[in-house]
């Protein structure tokens, strides 16, 4: 049955006080698929259970974001581990969910976070941005590369592959589960709600404007190797064909941001959860969370830095310190529960 949870401060406090010691040290490797001259090279990070080493580095650390200690290129721990793919949001990057990636690696998951060309912090190419169907394909390409990589292939449990995405990454992982985009449906919705964030993006990026791209955008992008997906405050729900959502046949965890400060909760996460098969969907609504609480923990003074560099950007660090860290603990807990129930637990 549909599981609905409104997260309270009591739940958050419980999550922060019941953490178990990590089972593994966290290793870090670079993801490099394709040459720079290729049409769509992929770069990012692989975060994995390791045996540790003599030297650590800070992963995802800069003047704004707090990072995590990892062991670069450390030996992979012995054993067999599920694979989790992370898909960042619009103009995000492979560091955005470092808090989740490191927590999952500590508990025995190999995690891969590619940067999506055209919609990443490091690559805002307008042409690539219109090719929304390429984001799910990025994830599929990366899975194939990981299963062929001699350093990781033998350690990956090939029937335990999950995909987790934030915002536009939520669209990405749902497309991998066979949710299908419907250009006409979304256009009709946006005529009535032109100022909503998904509609502004579609209009400004020119999504679906090219008739030649219609077939690619509306095609099935399912990857049958993925057996569970998680969306964090996703966007573009109203672009999905409801019939395709009702036919999804793998477990889905939908986590919505109750503060609804960027995306309309009723039209996005709540609507998605209601459209998915009730036996397969779990819905968690974080009452105090905002859209950017799925990014990293902000350092003291981060808002001032962001405001100076780009007025308005400081909103991504609103309540981004201890409050966000507590929310992360709850999210990690919910993701672990969901994956265990989906068959990703220890044998």
Do 9 and 323 meet the contact criterion of CB atoms below 8 Å apart? no
| Cα 182 from Cα 309, distance rounded (Å) | 37
Tens of pLDDT, residue by residue over 209-220, are: 887 788 999 999
Cα distances (angstroms) measured from residue 111 to each of 99, 277, 334: 12, 27, 17
**Per-residue pLDDT at 41 exceeds 70:** yes
Write down the pLDDT at residue 346: 62
- Alpha-helical runs (H) found in 194-268: 197-205, 214-218, 242-246
Give the confidence band of 78 by pLDDT, cuts at 50, 70, 90: very high
- Assigned token pair, 191: 């005529």
Average pLDDT over residues 83-105: 97
CB 176 within 8 A of CB 229: yes
Q: Which residues pair with 30 in a beta bridge?
A: 45
Domains of the chain: 3-344 (3.40.50.1820)
Q: Please tell me the predicted confidence (pLDDT) of residue 67.
A: 97
Residue-level pLDDT at 14: 39
User: pLDDT tens across 277-286, in order?
Assistant: 999 999 999 9
Other beta carbons within 10 angstroms of residue 264's beta carbon come to: 17
Q: Are 202 and 185 in contact (CB under 8 A)?
A: no
Q: What angle do CA 242, 2, 189 make, to 5 degrees?
A: 25
* CB contact set of 129 (below 8 Å; sequence gap of 6+): 118, 119, 205
The stretches of the chain forming alpha helices (DSSP H) are 9-17, 98-106, 126-130, 134-148, 168-176, 183-192, 197-205, 214-218, 242-246, 269-275, 302-309, 322-339
* Residue 3: pLDDT over 50: no
Kindly indicate the confidence band of residue 125, based on its pLDDT and cuts at 50, 70 and 90: confident
Q: Give tens-digit pLDDT for 179-202.
A: 999 999 999 999 999 999 999 999
Q: pTM for the complete prediction?
A: 0.93
For residue 276, what are its two tokens?
């998915």
Q: At which residue do the structure tokens 């997906």 appear?
A: 229
Angle, helices 183-192 vs 197-205, to 10°: value is 120
């Amino acid at each position: 049955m549909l599981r609905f949870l409104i997260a309270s401060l009591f739940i958050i406090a419980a999550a922060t006080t019941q953490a178990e010691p990590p089972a593994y040290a966290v290793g870090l490797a670079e993801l490099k698929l394709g040459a720079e001259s290729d049409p769509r090279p992929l770069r990012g990070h692989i975060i994995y259970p390791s045996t540790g080493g003599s030297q650590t580095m800070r992963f995802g650390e800069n003047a704004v974001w707090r990072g995590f200690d990892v062991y670069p290129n450390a030996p992979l721990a012995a054993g067999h581990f599920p694979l989790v793919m992370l898909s960042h949001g619009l103009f995000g990057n492979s560091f955005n969910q470092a808090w989740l990636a490191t927590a999952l690696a500590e508990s025995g998951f190999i995690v891969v976070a590619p940067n999506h060309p055209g919609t990443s912090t490091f690559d805002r190419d307008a042409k690539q941005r219109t090719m929304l169907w390429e984001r799910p394909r990025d994830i599929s390409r990366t899975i194939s590369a990981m299963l062929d990589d001699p350093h990781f292939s033998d350690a990956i449990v090939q029937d335990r592959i999950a995909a987790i995405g934030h915002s536009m990454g939520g669209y990405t992982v749902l497309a991998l589960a066979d949710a299908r985009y419907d250009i006409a449906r979304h256009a009709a919705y946006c005529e009535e709600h032109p100022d909503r964030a998904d509609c502004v993006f579609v209009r400004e990026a020119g999504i679906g404007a090219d008739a030649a791209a219609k077939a690619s955008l509306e095609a099935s992008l399912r990857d049958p190797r993925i057996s569970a997906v998680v969306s964090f405050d996703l966007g573009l729900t109203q672009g999905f064909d409801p019939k395709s959502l009702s036919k999804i046949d793998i477990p889905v965890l939908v986590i919505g941001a109750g503060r609804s400060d960027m995306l309309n909760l009723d039209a996005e996460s709540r609507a998605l959860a209601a459209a998915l098969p009730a036996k397969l969907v779990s819905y968690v609504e974080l009452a105090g969370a905002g859209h950017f609480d799925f990014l990293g923990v902000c350092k003291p003074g981060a808002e001032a830095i962001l405001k100076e560099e780009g007025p308005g950007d400081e909103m991504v660090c609103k309540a981004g310190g201890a409050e966000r860290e507590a929310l992360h603990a709850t999210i990690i807990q919910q993701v672990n529960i969901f994956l265990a129930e989906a068959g990703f637990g220890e044998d």
